[in-house]
Amino acid sequence: MRSRTQKIADMAIFIALGVVLNLCSFQSFGTYLGRISLVYLFCYLSGFILGPWQGFVVAFVADLIPGIFFPTGPYSIMISVSNATMALIAGCFGRYTHWKVVWKLIATALTSFAVCTLTLTVIGEVNSVLIIPVGEYEAASLYSMYPYTLAKVIIGKGWGVSEPYFQMLLAKAIQQPLWIVLNSLVTYVIYSRLQPLLRRGGYIAKDEQKNMYGNYRSRYDGVVIAGMPADGNAPSKYDGVVLGK
């Protein structure tokens, strides 16, 4: 178990990393692909490593700081809430399920895509840009303000969707799965590689770690009372401590 000071230090490091990653995002070469960003990766790792609530705070602050002090376009606090919720979801799946990492990551990606990307982020971007049905000149000017917007407006017009929310929703549904898959793959590689370090550093509680036989440990592992293990299973050669026999 990590101390409060260590947890605060971890949060500060992650916030700094999140700000840097946020500032390093840039517009991709294909307009319809949106921005190249590692925000998903950052939110997933924040939740998995720090836990749901620390991850929530870290992801929120890491998006809030560049949005206020280093803006690259219209800012909406709902975007910060969306990122924070994404880290919260990752933390819940990472901390409270005993699934393999790949399944935790898939569940996180699918849930956050529906709750965060297609809901909270869309609401935030609509409110920040205030899209209305526009012509080509206005679309070009909006693109210079906020690079995502051109793709959203074109897709909305081309498919006959005039409401700003549905324009944005449609664009996100087409743009973001590619980036989610790529961010998820990178997250899987990084998090899998970090597992031994996280265990030694106390980031993963003992009851969340697997023993060498693939079973999750509990506080009763290795304890046998009156000839029967505390968990009700028959004694085996792997039981380490025997009481009353």
pLDDT in tens, 24-66: 765 555 444 556 678 899 999 999 999 999 999 999 999 999 8
The Cα 222–Cα 242 span in angstroms is: 8
- In sequence order, which residues have a C-beta less than 8 Å from that of residue 66 and are 6 or more positions away? 19, 22, 23, 72
Sign of CA dihedral 205, 211, 214, 219: negative
Same domain, 198 and 223: no
Same domain, 232 and 201: no
Q: Is this model's pTM higher than 0.75 or not?
A: no
Tell me how many domains the chain contains: 2
**Cβ–Cβ < 8 Å for 14, 63:** no
Give the lowest-confidence range in 95-104, 134-143, 160-169, 197-206: 134-143
Same domain, 214 and 194: no
Full residue range of the structural domain in which residue 229 is found:
210-245
Same domain, 117 and 224: no
Return the residue matching tokens 């968990």.
231
Same domain, 185 and 245: no
Predicted confidence at residue 158, as pLDDT, reads 63
Same domain, 82 and 164: yes
Same domain, 75 and 119: yes
